[in-house]
Amino acid sequence: MAVREITYCGEAVLRRNTKKVLTIDDEVIRLVNDMRETMGPAAGMGLAAPQVGISSRVVTMWTDSEGEEITALINPRIVEQEGEEKSYEGCLSLPTLRGIVMRPSRVVVEAIDLEGEEFVMEGEGIMAHCIAHELDHLSGKLFIDRADPDSLVWMRPDEREESGVRYDPTTMDEAVEAFKRLIDQKRQRGDS
């Protein structure tokens, strides 16, 4: 297993429709294991294959409240959803950016596990938001595509704040430009 590099907003793989997994082979198993390994240090609730540069319909998610179990969803699709609720979202591919997004309050998803068995998973509240967010990645969508543009903020460390962070408003254009600069810095370091 290896920790893979997270792709950033502006990298082409994040905007592609992903390919269906036809066979669960060693490559897919390695991808899932690497995604699981990557989630720990990245501190995300979920991770989609495009976020590690792979255009496949694979998602990994924390699925227990203790943060000990990561479930792999291969070729997932939402088969039922209900309700709507707003929440602040962030994304590992858009570090420190947050915005208010409307998502279903409950979803049911069908997927395949690493053994090739079909299973059904239900999520409510934050888990429903996470499922919808990660499945959006499989269709080339990012949370900023759904966010209220007036709600976008950068989370900045600030010891003067009780929470340890402050929220600086930004615009969609400013955010996109910031991620372009981040990708340029990554390229200059030779990371990609």
Catalytic positions are 134
First to last CA, the chain: 20
Q: Return the residue matching tokens 């090739």.
A: 116
Pairing of strands 153-157, 106-112: unpaired
Task: Sort residue 28 into left (φ over 0), alpha (ψ -120 to 50) or beta.
Answer: alpha
How would you class 130 by CB atoms within 10 Å of its CB: exposed for 0-12, middle for 13-18, buried for 19 or more?
A: buried
